[in-house]
Chain A
Amino acid sequence: AQKVTQAQTEISVVEKEDVTLDCVYETRDTTYYLFWYKQPPSGELVFLIRRNSFDEQNEISGRYSWNFQKSTSSFNFTITASQVVDSAVYFCALSSQGAQKLVFGQGTRLTINP
């Protein structure tokens, strides 16, 4: 069975601080895909990134960066110089062609205070 764990239920930081959201996953598939989605108060799930299990290269997109480590089954997300607009619930998710299902973690509610 596939499982995603986001141990941090809520995080609150002051604007301009860096913040890391943790994600640990479990799967028996050798080929799988990891995702991060952002859910702002409006409710829509916004796609941020997709990584496949064969690509462990870290990725940076502006203030966002992702650290994928197969050795620890983790796919962590860091926001540098956080801004109030980053406040949202962030979900890590896992899928594979074998399971044909996208499994979500419980989400981390991030609050950036001015």
Chain B
Amino acid sequence: EAGVVQSPRYKIIEKKQPVAFWCNPISGHNTLYWYLQNLGQGPELLIRYENEEAVDDSQLPKDRFSAERLKGVDSTLKIQPAELGDSAVYLCASSPGLAGVDTQYFGPGTRLTVL
């Protein structure tokens, strides 16, 4: 069974430029998560989707970050414009159903560097 797929693996951009990350969850997993992981820290949730609905986006900085999961399968996370402090690893995860109950499986992440 294929795991969570993310692309790109690495991205280097100049500040104020836009950037987008893509995630394809494990087949059949209804719940999809985007996490931010700063260096030396544990991941922190940005947004959670149940099918195509964003059910928890309380930690998403909505002035510059946006996300979508149009058909309830793959998802895109966008930053526009990027700032120096956005340099981090962006992780995508998926789980079969119930948030807080089911195990989350993570992708390899996208390492973003903003210059």
A residues at B contact (CB < 8 Å): 4, 33, 35, 37, 42-47, 50, 91, 93, 95-102, 104-107
Asked whether, in the complex, the Cβ of A105 is within 8 Å of the Cβ of B42, the reply is yes
**Selected contact of B105 from candidates A47, A104, A105, A106, CB within 8 Å:** A47
**Given A45-B91, A47-B103, A93-B42, A100 and B109 contact (CB-CB distance below 8 Å):** no
Q: How many residues of B contact A (CB 8 A)?
A: 24
Asked whether, in the complex, the Cβ of A107 is within 8 Å of the Cβ of B42, the reply is yes
Report if B45 contacts A (CB, 8 A): yes
How long is the Cα–Cα vector from A46 to B105 in the complex, in angstroms?
7
**Given A43-B89, A100-B56, A101-B56, A106 and B100 contact (CB-CB distance below 8 Å):** no
Nearest A residue to B10 by beta-carbon distance?
A43
Report if B99 contacts A (CB, 8 A): yes
Give the interface SS of chain A, mostly helix, strand, loop or mixed: loop
B residues at A contact (CB < 8 Å): 33, 40-45, 48, 56, 89, 91, 93, 98-101, 103-109, 111
**Selected contact of B42 from candidates A33, A95, A106, CB within 8 Å:** A106
How long is the Cα–Cα vector from A32 to B93 in the complex, in angstroms?
19
**Given A45-B91, A97-B98, A102 and B104 contact (CB-CB distance below 8 Å):** yes
**Selected contact of A100 from candidates B99, B103, B105, B106, CB within 8 Å:** B99
Asked whether, in the complex, the Cβ of B100 is within 8 Å of the Cβ of A44, the reply is no
Q: Which 7 A-B pairs have the closest CB atoms?
A: A104-B42, A45-B106, A100-B100, A100-B99, A44-B108, A97-B100, A95-B100
